[in-house]
A and B are shown apart, each in its own frame.
Chain A
Amino acid sequence: MTLPPTLSVENLTVSYPVRAGTFWRPPTFLTAVDEVTFAIAPGETLGLVGESGSGKTTVGRAVMRRVNTSAGRIFFRGEEITQMEGEPLRKLRARMQLVLQDPYTSLNPRMRIADIVAEPLLVHGRVKNTSEARDHVRALLDLVGMPADAHLRYPHSFSGGQRQRVGIARALALEPDLIVADEPVSALDVSVQAQVVNLLQDIQQRMGLSYLFIAHDLSVVRHISHRIAIMYAGRIVEIAPRERVFAAPVHPYTKTLLSAVPIPDPKIQRTRKRLIPLGEPVDLANPPPGCRFQTRCAFATDQCRVTSPPLLERSKGHVAACWNF
């Protein structure tokens, strides 16, 4: 028997009006996410990588039903949630949680750590007040490696890494099936990043939950993801098992991205050949026809400039959208 995927997204499209329409002018739309399709199996981590403006954060927010989808469908454990609203949506939130990027602003500075971690339990009626949740909160704080006396203190007395642990404890309180982690380590110091990434991995092994791990940084994503999806200008250009992305990237954009990541070794770094994208970043309000990357791609042909390439399977579990490779 196969379980349905924890999350599956079909042709997800999100567009925002960037300028309101007036009597004589229709509103201008910006398509932040354009026909994105992917699925995450139970216990799996999908890394979603892209630069600013790629739409990766919007995908995360759309999955969490925080922004409305313009087209496409979202399924959570086989159930369609694309249009879910009101009380059912609130109930659903118990089963999918978000870990935010900035640990300094994502915790209410006026609440004690215990109240922050107990809040999900409280609002979903699992406990009546914080003191009833005390043991549960202690266990959660212990799970994320916070000191035992943390629960009575306020966020300001903790470092960034510790605050992020509190954010993770809050997300774990209801034992969700899916955590959307939106750049959870990019605001942290290098030596602390590793602590948080390892913590997320350990928790996954213990609790079997799935992650959608959103990041701009390939080198961190590689350590936590089972599969990696690369986004460019609102579209997914390549999805592959993690080692395939690094060993055999197909899409020119993936290759460009890989070659840009600096390697902390002066001898290698000085002699590395880098692929440099041509021209200027894509204007999303006015995207080019055909492949979105064609204006910046050194290999673009006439076909690329006219028709957008479909995501085709290159090897098992490895799809890419490129006409040339």
Chain B
Amino acid sequence: MTDQGISQTGRRRTSLFRELLSDTPAAIGAALIVLIVVLTLFAPLIAPFDPADQNLTARLAPPVWIDGGSWQHVLGTDSLGRDVLSRILHGGQVTLLIGLCTTVIALAIGVVIGLWAGYCGGRADSILMRIVDIQVSFPGILLILLIVGVIGPGMMTMIIVLSVTNWMVYARLVRSTVMSLRQTPYVEAAELVGCRPARVIFVHILPNLIPPLLTLSILEFTNIVLAEAAVSFLGFGVQPPAISWGLDVATGRDYLFIAWWLVAFPGIAIALTVLSVNLFANWVRVTTDPQERERRFARDLAARQRRGLSS
């Protein structure tokens, strides 16, 4: 233990990868995430059709494994004869982009407000936290409809709207963590040594916030994906001709009884994304918590020893 002072980053990275592989659900989640990102990122290269191409002769074609389906449209076509697979690949771009941008913006707002409230305390804290309370208690969907009504729907609107309704959870987490961290002896020591507040925050407090924020923002990302889908489904989100999974579920709704694949496949894409991110987030949470990580290590070891004994 004493001799590993100088960190061997390379070795640590490979062992981290091995740790991920040994946790089957997390490994599957991570693999799915990579797959989804690659597929959507290279959608223009992979997709067999332009997602907007209409083909009225092949309207509402079923997926390939059903009678009447063809290999041309593997997942079938919609009411205008557009290829469902291509739409899902392209739609993922919008969905994931909105998810990513919103998470980053909401995180940034939340961290700044949380640090401000938690570090300054007193009146600033009371005011900021009351704002959070008000915003949390205000029905989110109502606020979204309100903003969309004022500035009109679209992708930018979605990002703004979802950021505005999602930063509070970060602010609360950061505030409470900062408040407890300020009581830790080494932060007190830093203040008494004569560190200016900026140094105390950036050198001594912020690094401790990264693990919980990482886990939270990964989980929040799935919430954003779901929210985007919901709002687009309601018709206030992404507008045609842009494509998103939620929008496709919404337009497919009218054909639910004659062409279930229009709803099912974008729906599965949403569910799969959310599920894989959750599996991965759980692993990140355990890995960034030294105690939990130690326990997982011991559990795995015990399981391996039991298996060794029985065989």
Contacts and interface: CB of A to CB of B under 8 A. Distances in A.
Q: Touch between A and B in complex, CB under 8 Å?
A: yes
Interface of A: 64, 66, 90-91, 93-94, 97-98, 100-102, 105-111, 119-120, 123-124, 149, 152-154, 156-158, 167, 170
Nearest to A154: B5
Interface of B: 1-2, 4-6, 184-186, 188-196, 199, 203-204, 207-208
Given A100-B185, A105-B186, A152-B6, A66 B1 contact: no
Nearest to B208: A110
B5 A107 contact: no
B214 to A, nearest CB: 15
25 contacts: A64-B192, A66-B188, A66-B192, A93-B193, A94-B194, A97-B193, A98-B188, A101-B185, A102-B185, A105-B185, A105-B186, A106-B185, A106-B188, A106-B189, A107-B189, A108-B203, A108-B204, A109-B186, A110-B207, A119-B190, A123-B196, A149-B5, A152-B5, A157-B5, A170-B193
A93 B194 contact: yes
B186 A157 contact: no
Contact of B184 (A66, A105, A124, A157): A105
Contact of A157 (B2, B188, B203): B2
B1 A157 contact: yes
Closest 9 CB pairs of A and B: A153-B5, A106-B185, A93-B194, A105-B185, A120-B193, A108-B186, A100-B185, A98-B192, A123-B195
A318 B6 CA distance: 53
A93 B185 CA distance: 16
Nearest to A170: B193
A130 B186 CA distance: 19
A124 B194 contact: yes
Contacts of A107: 186, 189
A93 B192 CA distance: 6
Contacts of A170: 189, 193
B43 to A, nearest CB: 40
A123 B192 contact: no
A177 to B, nearest CB: 14
Contact of B6 (A105, A110, A153): A153
Contact of A123 (B4, B193, B208): B193
Nearest to A111: B203
Contacts of B186: 105-109
A111 B190 CA distance: 12
A320 to B, nearest CB: 32
A226 B3 CA distance: 41
Contacts of B195: 119, 123
A100 B189 contact: yes
A123 B199 contact: yes
Contacts of B196: 90, 123
Contacts of A102: 185
